């Protein structure tokens, strides 16, 4: 991707999207689940309806796929497989959202899409149409989808038009802030597979702009202006991370950059992109939260710090940390991407949903 992009032959993300294209499957129903591609609030979604006798109202999940806001599709084999299992085994109506992707549609397009779908689904008449219990609905997502789920859960708290409250938010190795891209997890896992630091920086920058100046500043962690320095209190890993994750790293405080980039691209300081930057008054009202983090993942510390902040504010949090896992591991749970760690993490995910939704 980098070679083709450097030579000007095609856009970096166009090459990366070949993975999505190869992996995407059509909406196909089976004996357990009816699967359809439709639209909610004019946004494309893949809808999973369990066929079994309901035996009462069902649970509901609005799911947002990962892919750095630039890649991915609800119909990718891994996401389709997981949504089918959740729908069938736990009697859940799953709405998997195909939000608009960058770089064609930059921030806040993805957030606007997932928020519109969630608001639509939470309407009493829509929940009733699909037989969903309004007291048992959650938002969920992995990676960039976890970012969107966290942002949606926060925004719903302040939306007077939404009467239905979420029962839970599920954040699977979420990316939660663009403020400090030099956390211990970014250092320790800089070149590890699936999501090296350079790719995460590329995803972040493409989410906001194609301007190479922004990507360069983010790569050197010098993109935050002095006037936003107060926000670093929310990502100060010197006290938000346990000693074992801080390791031998020393906290030196932020290296501040020019305010010009923040004025041109204010999105990276926006709570809809960086929900970890929200103040305590907002966070303390969030619903029961499940967070999965993986040791060998640049995003590890985002999830750990969010769990720490929420717990300190009295939010019910279940934080599972997988010492032997890497970013994206949950998706490796069926052939040909079949790993024991993927099965274990997905089984735990199913178990938590079953017990808490």
Mean pLDDT of the chain: 94
What pLDDT, on the 0 to 100 scale, is given for residue 8?
Answer: 55
Q: Stretch 182-193: mean pLDDT, rounded?
A: 96
Is the CB of residue 290 less than 8 Å from the CB of residue 153? Answer: no
What pLDDT, on the 0 to 100 scale, is given for residue 270?
Answer: 98
Residues with active-site annotation = 143, 297, 327
What pLDDT, on the 0 to 100 scale, is given for residue 298?
Answer: 98
For residue 96, what are the CA distances in angstroms to 21, 45, 62, 193?
17, 5, 6, 26
Q: Percentage of the chain surpassing pLDDT 90?
A: 89
From CA 217, how far away is CA 309, in angstroms rounded?
28
Residue 4 has pLDDT above 70, yes or no: no
Residue 212 has pLDDT above 70, yes or no: yes
In 26-167, where do the E strands start and end?
33-40, 43-50, 58-64, 92-97, 132-142
Residue 334 has pLDDT above 90, yes or no: no
In the chain, where do the E strands start and end?
33-40, 43-50, 58-64, 92-97, 132-142, 168-172, 288-296, 317-326, 333-334, 337-338
- Banded model confidence at residue 252, pLDDT cuts 50, 70, 90: confident
Give the pTM: 0.96
Q: Which residues, in sequence order, are bridge partners of residue 172?
A: 142, 292
Q: Which CATH superfamily is domain 1-356 in?
A: Alpha/Beta hydrolase fold, catalytic domain (3.40.50.1820)
Q: Stretch 45-55: mean pLDDT, rounded?
A: 90
Residue 116 has pLDDT above 60, yes or no: yes
Q: Stretch 122-149: mean pLDDT, rounded?
A: 98
What pLDDT, on the 0 to 100 scale, is given for residue 17?
Answer: 80
How many CB atoms lie under 10 A from the CB of residue 22?
9
Residue 103 has pLDDT above 70, yes or no: yes
Residue 131 has pLDDT above 90, yes or no: yes
């Amino acid at each position: 991707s980098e070679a083709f992009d450097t030579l000007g032959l095609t856009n970096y993300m166009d090459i990366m999207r070949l993975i999505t294209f190869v992996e995407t499957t059509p909406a196909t129903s089976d004996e357990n689940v009816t699967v359809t591609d439709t639209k909610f609030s004019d946004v494309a979604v893949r809808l999973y309806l369990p066929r079994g006798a309901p035996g009462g109202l069902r649970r509901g999940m609005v799911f947002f796929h990962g892919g750095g806001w630039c890649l991915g599709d609800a119909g990718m084999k891994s996401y389709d497989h997981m949504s089918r299992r959740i729908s069938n085994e736990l009697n859940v109506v799953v709405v998997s959202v195909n939000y608009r992707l960058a770089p064609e549609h930059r921030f806040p397009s993805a957030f606007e899409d997932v928020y519109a779908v969630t608001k639509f689904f939470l309407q009493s008449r829509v929940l009733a149409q699909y037989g969903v219990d309004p007291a048992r609905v959650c938002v969920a997502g992995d990676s960039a989808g976890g970012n969107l789920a966290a942002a949606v859960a926060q925004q719903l708290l302040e939306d007077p038009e939404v009467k239905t409250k979420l029962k839970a938010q599920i954040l699977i190795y979420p990316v939660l802030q663009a403020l400090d891209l030099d956390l211990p997890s970014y250092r320790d896992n800089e070149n590890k597979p699936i999501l090296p630091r350079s790719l995460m920086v590329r995803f972040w920058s493409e989410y906001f702009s194609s301007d190479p100046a922004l990507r360069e500043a983010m790569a050197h962690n010098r993109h935050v202006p002095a006037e936003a320095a107060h926000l670093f209190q929310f990502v100060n890993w010197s006290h938000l991370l346990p000693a074992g994750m801080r390791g031998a790293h020393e906290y030196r405080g932020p290296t501040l950059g020019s305010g010009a980039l923040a004025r041109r691209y204010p999105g990276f300081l926006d709570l809809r992109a960086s929900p970890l930057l929200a103040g305590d008054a907002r966070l303390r009202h969030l619903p029961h939260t499940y967070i999965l983090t993986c040791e060998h993942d640049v995003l590890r510390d985002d999830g750990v710090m969010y769990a720490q902040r929420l717990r300190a504010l009295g939010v019910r949090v279940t934080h599972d940390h997988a010492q032997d896992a890497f970013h994206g591991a949950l998706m490796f749970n069926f052939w040909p991407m079949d790993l024991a760690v993927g099965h274990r993490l997905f089984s735990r995910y199913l178990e938590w949903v079953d017990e808490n939704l």
